[in-house]
Structure 1
Amino acid sequence: MRKFDFRCTWLKILAVPSVLLMLAVAGSMALAADDAPLLELHEWSVWIGEPQAKTINGGGDYPTAMPGLVETERSRKRDEKPKPAPIGVMTVYGEPPEVVDIDLKITAGRPISQWPRSEGKSNRLRWLDLKLTKELSSPELLAYIPDTHWFNKARELNGLYMQLKKGGRAERFFAYDLELQTPLNIRLDGGPDVYKVVNLGKHVFHDVLLIVPGPDGHRIGWLNTIAAAPGGGAAATPGGKNPAQPQAGAAVGQPVQGVVLANNGAGVIKVAAGQPGAPAGAAAQPGAAAAPTADPSKETIVEIPLSGPFAVDSDEFKDKTDGEMRRRLGKTGLTAAEIDLIMSLYAPHFFATDDIHFVYRIAQDGLDEITPLVVEPETTKIKRVALVIARRVDPRLREDVQQLITDLADASYAKREKAEKRLKDLGNLAIPSLKEAMKGKDLEVVMRAERLLLSQKEQLPPEQNPAP
């Protein structure tokens, strides 16, 4: 018969409460960690581009939004008709941890300016070992900014103060300006009542706005989304998480076949008859995506009908532009104060324009691919929003370019001069046609086209390079 070891048994019995106590303590610590207030970083930016340009936010194309104490390559001149200026802003909210690192990488491009100065290199902005506080220890840590500059409004966003590790400046936000080596992947066709929007790129367009001015007022078209071009793999990162590396190729855009109808500011997609999985005449809910097709096209084309004309100073126009934009930005998680700042800076460039403007939002997964952002501690919740202003998208401008190229050969000297000046004003939009014009036999047309291309710093074909 086996002997029963009472001593070992009692030791095991006594050990059970200890283990349970340890598990309870560990569980309460984990619960406390989960319940602890997290940092939340909000980033918003405005990008500007034109068809045919090689870059978005081109360094020589737009003025700076930075104050005088910030170094920049951009012009500080203010034209009679001001252009929008690219900008990016980060603000941090929550309970300050011991130290924070913010690392913003530009996959294709470079920083033009930054505030405060980061430790980044040619394609990176890095603010490391940041000390975050709710209160400013000394007013002298903040640089002087003129009262009328928007930096002062950014300081009223109630973000945490961030002080650089080397005893440098403290600031309540970070601002930066990037030049992105990527084209504007959009084309606008058709008009005047219905336009076709062509997405040539790998990222979905969100909260799409088309503004078309006319003699009777401005006409408006809103869409919730326009799918990415087929085969374009955009990065997919779970919303609100802190990516260590962008997950390239995780989502594939699909073509949209159908007609998109404006319905009180919301996009409604009517699925085309005969489309797989959809009965003839079936209509999706507002904002829904059309079913994918096997169309091998490399473009996504969606129609966007326009509203009737509104007077720019009418309450209805304000509600369907400024009001609608605010409602849509509110759904991204930006604060009301952040949205107020964005609108105070860019509402005239979004809505009160003399030319056709196209505005859309790039979602966080697209930003995580174009400009990957890493924040330590990694529990930081991140909300990222980029608004893109597409300028000179009017399809009639392409027709104007062709006529102006013809006018370069006109018998009238005044008409030739006028055509050259207008082509110069059209900038990047005229470059492909000017390069084609250089293949012609009219020497004056070739000479003027060459001069225009050189003024745009375009590289000429080898046979067209001027003699040294």
Structure 2
Amino acid sequence: MKQSIQSKKQIQNTSDLSDGRKRVSARAGALIGVIGLLCACGTGWAGAPKTSASPKLIVRDVSVFLVSAHGKKLNDAALFRSTTPGYMQSRRLSADASESDKPAPLGLITFAGPATKDIDVLLEFPAGRFLTHWPTARIQSKRIYWRSQNLLKESPLSMPLSDSHWLSPLQKADRLFVKGIDKCDRFILYDVELNHSPRLTMTHAENGFQVQNADTYPLKDLTVMQPVEQKDRWKVAAIDQVPGTKKEDQQPEAKSDQPAKAKPVDPLSEESLNKKKKEAQAKALEAVGKQLQAIGALPKLADAAAKPADKKEAQAAKTDKKATAVLVPYIESAALTQAEVLDVWRKQLIDLGLGTPEVEHVLRILGEHALRSDQATIVYCLDESYLDKILPLEITPFPDVVRRTGIVILLDADPALLKRIDALIAQLGNQSWAKREAAQKTLEEYGKAAQTQLQKATRNKDLEIVFRAEQILSKIK
């Protein structure tokens, strides 16, 4: 009997121990499951790996424009010649062989980030025309369309450039390849001529320059590079922003008193017949008056005061008076070298969000066109809203980041340039044939900046000056 009771107790203890082990095992399994879930979610566990954010697709669009203070177009076809490779088929005249490798103002679009398939890029121009684009794209009316482009990490170039070409660094840059149906490069390039009349005036000041901006849009990061007597040196003046005129300051255009739609008039009514009769009498009196003036019986009327032919020109004249003059001070008293001047703009371009390839591309163009030895030049950034107005950009699907920058190099705004042009016009009558030729060539390069003074020179007593001035004017027109 005792043995039976002990046996039952042993069996019960064994069963209890087995149940306890099962409960511990179940709890351990649940704990491990919770830990695994926390690890998977990346929370509640110090050693859990963190998932990295996906890289962003960044698009950088930077355009460099050259314009004369007397011109009406950005990147006018007459301002400079093309130095792009022949396969890009520019509508500009090609530069001479000696100047074929000099940087020229161009627009550049680059892509950085993950590889992306089937992306569309569309550029429009409400008023202007395209002169060059690469890779090949579809041009429709006032737009250019790069359709179904693939952005790749690796791909062979369709047209490799020689190492000596000024665009070669772009093909070696750390940017995505842009591959279409049959063309592939590491960028999109475009040369566009846009309608734009600069409304910026500049005068010399004691410690820099006085600048007036008569446009409604502000000018950003404005810099003036003034050459000094020391060769290859410039004094630099800069300001963060030159404000534009406020829209409320502008006078609204005069509205016509006439109704939008004239009411139909009966040609046989008494009012119409009387009107025609008066018009006939006025014409008859005018004819008699002209006959009397021809024989000297009546004096000729004095000419009416000249009126602006265009309402926009009259409005611009009013607006110019309201533009606020802003002092642009020198950043240093000493003159700077070319490298030091470009470093000033390098910092500004980096602050605008451009990468190394885009910055170097812009600096190559500025070094060629903005640092002149014969005149002070102005460089500034267009307001982004104005850039979107004159050259809208659309990318589909929309990238994570789009950075647009429009940089303008303004020539012929230096007030000292007028004195230099007068001296060159006088040199047209020099006894030395070589000096006359050199002066004529330089004046032809100034173009419309010298047009007004050349027109006055056609009335000069020196027939040589008159002859050469007329030749230059015929080329400018």
Fold agreement, TM-score > 0.5: yes
- Corresponding position of 2:104: 85
1:411-426 paired onto structure 2 within 5 Å: 420-426=440-446
- Report what 2:256 is aligned to: none
Could you say which residue in structure 1 is the equivalent of 2:217? 203
Between structure 1 and structure 2, the one with the greater Rg is 2
Answer yes or no: is the 8 Å Cα contact 2:57–2:400 preserved in 1.
yes
Deviation at 1:114, TM superposition (A): 0.8
| Residue in structure 1 matching 2:396, options 376, 382, 394 | 376
Q: Which runs of 5+ in 1 are unaligned?
A: 1-34, 234-294, 459-468
In the alignment, what sits opposite 2:356?
336
In structure 2, the partner of 1:120 is 139
Shift of 1:398: 1.8
1:45 alignment partner in structure 2: 63
Residues 85-104 of structure 1: pairs in structure 2 closer than 5 A: 85-104=104-123
Shift of 1:412: 6.6
**1:288-299 mapped onto 2 (5 Å cutoff):** 297-299=321-323
Aligned match of 1:147 in 152, 163, 175?
163
Letter in 2 for 1:143: M
Alignment of 1:46-195 (within 5 A): 46-72=64-90, 73-77=92-96, 85-121=104-140, 123-136=142-155, 139=156, 142-164=158-180, 167-191=181-205, 193-195=207-209
Q: What are the within-5 Å matches in structure 2 for residues 250-261 of structure 1?
A: none
Equivalent residue, structure 2, for 1:427: 447
User: Matched residues in 2 for 1:453 and 1:437: separation?
Assistant: 10
Shift of the 67–417 alpha-carbon distance from structure 1 to 2, 3 Å rule, reads: closer
After TM superposition, give the deviation of residue 369 of structure 1 in Å: 1.0
Query: What SS is found at the alignment partner of 2:87?
Result: coil
- DSSP 3-state at the match of 1:395: coil
Query: Following the alignment from structure 1 to structure 2, what is the Cα–Cα distance between the partners of residues 311 and 296?
Result: 33
Whichever structure has more helix as a proportion of its residues is 2
Task: Determine if contact 2:106/2:190 at 8 Å carries over to the other structure.
Answer: yes
8 Å contact kept, 1:65–1:85 = yes
Shift of 1:113: 0.7
Q: Tell me the residue number matched to 1:224.
A: 240
Judging changes above 3 Å, is the alpha-carbon distance between structure 1 residues 94 and 432 closer, same or farther for their aligned structure 2 residues? same
Report deviation, 1:125: 1.7
Q: How does 1:245-284 map to 2 (within 5 A)?
A: none
Q: Percent identity?
A: 26
1:175 aligned partner, one-letter code: L
Q: Does the 8 A contact of 1:208 with 1:361 survive in 2?
A: yes
Q: Give distance in 2, aligned partners of 1:411 and 1:340.
A: 43
**How far does residue 192 in structure 1 lie from its aligned partner after superposition?**
6.8
Q: Distance in 2 between matches of 1:103 and 1:184?
A: 26
Give the TM-score taking structure 1 as reference length: 0.66
Q: CA deviation at 1:416?
A: 7.3
Q: CA deviation at 1:84?
A: 5.2
TM (norm. structure 2) is: 0.64
Pairing 1:214–2:239 present: no
How far has the Cα of 1:390 moved from its partner? 1.7
CA RMSD of aligned residues (A): 3.4
How many residue pairs were aligned?
A: 352
Whole-Å Cα distance in 1 between the matches of residues 383 and 431 of structure 2? 51
Shift in Å, 1:108: 1.8
Counterpart of 2:121 in 1: which secondary structure? strand
Report if aligned partners of 1:364, 1:383 keep a CA contact under 8 Å in 2. Answer: no
Distance 1:111 1:300, change over 3 A: farther
- Partner Cα distance (2:172, 2:436) in 1: 53
Q: Say yes or no: does 1:356 pair with 2:356.
A: no
**Can you list the C-alpha shifts for 1:327-374, whole angstroms capped at 9, x where unaligned?**
211111111332233324533544575532221112322210110111
State the SS of the aligned residue for 1:326.
Answer: helix
Post-superposition Cα deviations, 1:179-221, rounded to whole Å, max 9, x if no partner, equal 2222333222225743222223343211111111212442111
Q: Compared with structure 1, are the counterparts of its residues 406 and 115 closer, same or farther at alpha carbon in structure 2 (3 Å cutoff)?
A: same
In the alignment, is the contact (CA less than 8 A) between 1:56 and 1:184 conserved in 2? no
1:302 is matched with 326
Amino acid at match of 1:327: K
Structure 1 residues 60 and 352 mapped into 2: Cα distance closer, same or farther (>3 Å)?
closer
Change (3 A) 1:378 1:303: same
Q: Distance in 2 between matches of 1:160 and 1:79?
A: 33
